Amino acid sequence: MTLTFEDFKPGHFGTFGPRHITRDEIVAYAREYDPQPMHLDEDAANASMLKGLAGSGWHMCSLMMRMIYDGFLHKSASMGSPGVDQMRWLAPFRPGDDLTLDVEVVEARASQSRPTLGIVKFKFSMLNAKGQTISEMITPIMIGRREAAAGN
Amino acid sequence: MRYLEDIQIGHRRELGSFTFTAESIKTFAEQFDPQPFHLDEEAGRKSLFGGLAASGWHVASVCMKLLVADGQRAKAEAEARGEEPPVGGPSPGFRDLRWIRPVLAGDTLTYSSEVVSVRATATRPGWGILQSKNVAVNQRGEEAYSFLGSVFLPQRGDAA
């Protein structure tokens, strides 16, 4: 059963994960997209403000996307997103972390210009195993409405 | 990478270009964003995007790749002048990220970065925050992507 716009009501939606993070994947992403020493090398990272090897913030965004997809977006009528209102990188994520994604619906509104979809604004919080929120993202996603999905 | 005091509002740097091939779009999507319109040409054509479209996080990750390369160029230029450039800090986050137009297979984006503001931080003595607007335009000159990024920069302060 496909989740449509109507299935997203303001309030807590769900918690997904945990997702285990390895040193190899942190370094692999950093080599390709964010080769700053604090994401690649322990000694440089220890000397930085992050005080230890930590993943790129853009890697965090990409991991969040994958957990959103695996958690519920894969079985939804997602039609993409116009952007991100705000992303806060509150604390580093590290090799060995087990990350959990907490999903809250902030608001859901029908699109005036496109009657086949609605816009759901989410707040995604990524927590580590200690329960510390390490990143927080507020973003709208366009999701197809039930009538339109049934007509396909 | 410079000290906070050296930064000029409105200073703009060209970061370079990147072509999103179908192969690179699918490779990124398989790992991080396997929605059908990022993996399959036919699904892309039927979507709002109108073709195989790069994940927005791929477009964003490439921007970071070009920002880091530009920072390394700036560091090399400073060292060539005999200066010892400071080491920048991490970023506390970003705002107002917009995927303005789809980035389809074969599109080339050209990225740039412009300084919007600089300010001292109360919480981290010796550091300030630089905010910049980063933009990407496609091969037709249309804006496809933008965001307001922030990064910690050291202050020269009394040390210099």
Interface test with B, best of A63, A84, A123, A126 (most B CBs within 10 A): A84
The residue ranges of every structural domain in chain B are 4-159
Task: Considering only CA atoms, give the Rg of chain B.
Answer: 18
Which of B33, B68, B90 shows the shortest C-beta gap to A65? B33
CATH class for the region spanning A5-150? alpha beta
Give the model's confidence band at A151: pLDDT under 50 very low, under 70 low, under 90 confident, else very high.
low
> B4-159: which CATH architecture?
Roll (3.10)
C-beta atoms of A33 and B61 within 8 A? yes
Nearest chain A CA: its distance from B80 CA (Å): 20
What average pLDDT does the structure give for chain B? 93
ipTM (interface predicted TM):
0.94
pLDDT per residue as tens digits for the range A12-62: 999 999 999 999 999 999 999 999 999 999 998 888 888 899 999 999 999
pLDDT of B160 over the 80 cut? no
Task: For residue range B44-56, list pLDDT tens digits in order.
Answer: 999 999 999 999 9
What are the structural domain ranges in chain A? 5-150
Report pTM. Answer: 0.94
- Chain B nearest-CA distance from A57, in A, is 8
